[in-house]
Amino acid sequence: MDDKVVEEIRMHQETVASDNNTPLHLIHEKELEISGKVLAAKRQADEIVTEARKKAAELVSKAEAEGGVGAADKEAAIKSEAEREAERLRSDARVEADRLQVQVDARRDEAVRLVLDVVTAV
């Protein structure tokens, strides 16, 4: 037991055992009683703080776990969007390559004629 509690009990027993209830003795007894109440209030406050810290740690842990899940979902969504964008770019590149191939095919005959004209002019 706490020293204050032991002292309070002893003081109370002395008061009950003696008829000598002097004002000083009564004041001291009241001080001990108040000290005991203060000590009990401190213990209760410590218990409340401990419980609050425990709950806060649980909330933080839960939030981190949920945040991890949310982050994985967000990562998957971003990856999916990036894959769609890459596919769109590949498709656009194929269309552009096909368009250029058509232009090259259309101008090939003209290019051959120009080269032959240059070669035969010499």
In whole angstroms, what is the distance from residue 34 CA to residue 32 CA? 5
Q: Which amino acid is at 5?
A: V
Of the candidates 6, 4, 18, the one whose C-alpha atom is nearest the C-alpha of residue 26 is 18
For residues 107-113, give the mean pLDDT.
81
Q: What is the pLDDT of residue 73?
A: 79
Q: Quickly state the pLDDT bin for 18 (edges 50, 70, 90).
A: low
Of the candidates 104, 102, 100, the one whose C-alpha atom is nearest the C-alpha of residue 92 is 100
19 pLDDT higher than 60: no
Q: Quickly state the pLDDT bin for 111 (edges 50, 70, 90).
A: confident
In whole angstroms, what is the distance from residue 85 CA to residue 95 CA? 15
71 pLDDT higher than 90: no
With a pLDDT cut of 90, the percent of the chain lying above it is: 14
Q: What is the pLDDT of residue 51?
A: 92
Tokens for 65?
A: 């776990």
For residues 31-52, give the mean pLDDT.
88
Q: Quickly state the pLDDT bin for 76 (edges 50, 70, 90).
A: confident
Q: Which of 12-16, 25-29, 57-61, 115-119 has the highest mean pLDDT?
A: 57-61
